[in-house]
């Protein structure tokens, strides 16, 4: 940890005052109120050692990073049948694109683009009695953290402006790949995206993807080793919108970003690291977050390749 800590501090202070050419997401109006120069980093090792710097303790909207958690629960509940509903191929298209759904007959290319995550929400609705409560309880157990919650304002703000997600959900339903009521699926999807966590909480909750032997404080396993391997594989191929190749190329870790400016990256058997900086590059990924992680894996020589 001492080695990681010194390197994180050096990179953090190097980047803190770098001119950030990104822009805060504002297509969900409520997200535009974030303080644009926030910058935090946190690492948790599989020995549960933890180090954070900057705004690492401040909660932010994790947005698409929550797609890892919804996928995890759906995979637990549905098993391998899940892949009949959603594919595991990179899309090479924007995260909210409708294009491939037409030719792929309503089967989304992967669970991390919006269409795929919407189908995952539909799968969860079919399994859970009280979907919002049950999903949050699942997250709380993995993280051993009772403070996790949805941000109702963000969820409602997205509901009002989420025309494209509504189009995706309706379009998929027309192919029969949404089983529940469209409004219920979308409401659940918007709530899952609105969950807030700090970098510290995020690096703790995602540790089950780094640690093959992870059990929750109640003694439950989150995933089998093979399931965790598969989710890591989808993260490295599909976790960064149109920039997943670039992230693998420059950083070399499985990860997932969100339009709230967060990034979580996993080094299997070593650590989970998170960065939050809300200004996004042209591909919707945190500008400083990408730079930070590229420098971090280079200086620690700790990518998976």
Give the binding site for ligand GLU (CB under 6 A): 63-64, 95-96, 114, 158, 165, 193, 258-259
Residue nearest to ligand GLU (CB): 64
Rank residues 63 and 204 by Cβ distance to ligand GLU and give the closer one.
63
- Give the DSSP per-residue string, the chain: -HHHHHHHHHHHHHHHTS----EE--SSGGGGGS-TT--EEEEEETT--EEEEESTTS-EE-GGGHHHHHHHHHHHHHGGGGGGTS--S---S-TT--HHHHHTTT--S-TTSHHHHHHHHHHHHHH-SSHHHHHHHHHHHHHT-TT-B--HHHHHHHHHH-HHHHHHHHHHHHTT---S-HHHHHHHHHHHHT-EE-HHHHHHHGGGGT-TT-B-TTS-BSS-HHHHHHHHHHHHHHTTGGGHHHHHHHT-S-EEE-TTSEEEEEETTTEEEEEE--EE-TTSSBHHHHHHHHHHHHHTT-S--
Kindly name the residue from 185, 259, 264, 275 that is annotated as catalytic. Answer: 259
Kindly name the residue from 61, 64, 115, 244 that is annotated as catalytic. Answer: 64
Q: How far is the CB of 213 from ligand GLU (least distance, A)?
A: 30
Q: How far is the CB of 95 from ligand GLU (least distance, A)?
A: 5
Catalytic residue list contains 241: yes
Catalytic residue list contains 64: yes
Rank residues 106 and 162 by Cβ distance to ligand GLU and give the closer one.
162
Rank residues 96 and 302 by Cβ distance to ligand GLU and give the closer one.
96
Kindly name the residue from 67, 279, 288, 295 that is annotated as catalytic. Answer: 67
Kindly name the residue from 4, 12, 150, 189 that is annotated as catalytic. Answer: 189
Catalytic residue list contains 41: no
Active site residues: 64, 67, 189, 241, 259
């Amino acid at each position: 940890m001492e080695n990681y800590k010194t390197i994180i501090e050096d990179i953090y202070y190097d980047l803190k005052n770098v001119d950030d050419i990104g822009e805060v997401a504002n297509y969900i109006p409520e997200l535009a109120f974030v303080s644009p120069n926030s910058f935090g980093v946190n690492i948790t090792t599989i020995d549960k050692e933890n180090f954070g710097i900057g705004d690492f303790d401040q909660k932010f909207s994790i947005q698409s990073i929550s797609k890892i958690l919804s996928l995890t629960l759906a995979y637990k509940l549905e098993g391998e049948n899940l892949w009949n509903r959603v594919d595991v191929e990179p899309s090479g298209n924007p995260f909210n694109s409708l294009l491939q759904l037409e030719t792929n007959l309503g089967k989304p290319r992967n669970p991390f683009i919006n269409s795929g995550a919407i189908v995952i929400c539909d799968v969860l609705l079919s399994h859970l009695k009280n979907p919002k409560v049950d999903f949050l309880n699942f997250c709380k157990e993995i993280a051993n953290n009772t403070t996790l919650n949805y941000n109702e304002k963000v969820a409602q703000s997205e509901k009002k402006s989420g025309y494209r997600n509504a189009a995706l959900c309706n379009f998929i339903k027309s192919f029969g790949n949404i089983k529940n009521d469209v409004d219920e699926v979308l409401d659940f999807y918007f709530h899952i995206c609105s969950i807030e966590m700090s970098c510290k909480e995020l690096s703790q909750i995602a540790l089950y993807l780094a640690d093959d032997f992870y059990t929750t404080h109640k003694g439950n396993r989150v995933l089998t080793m093979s399931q965790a391997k598969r989710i890591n594989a989808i993260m490295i191929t599909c976790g960064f919108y149109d920039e997943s190749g670039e992230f693998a190329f420059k950083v070399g870790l499985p990860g997932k970003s969100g339009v709230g400016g967060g990034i979580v990256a996993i080094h299997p058997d070593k650590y989970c690291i998170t960065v939050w900086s809300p200004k996004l590059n042209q591909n919707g990924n945190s500008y400083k977050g990408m730079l930070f992680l590229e420098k971090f894996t280079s200086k620690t020589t700790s990518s998976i390749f």
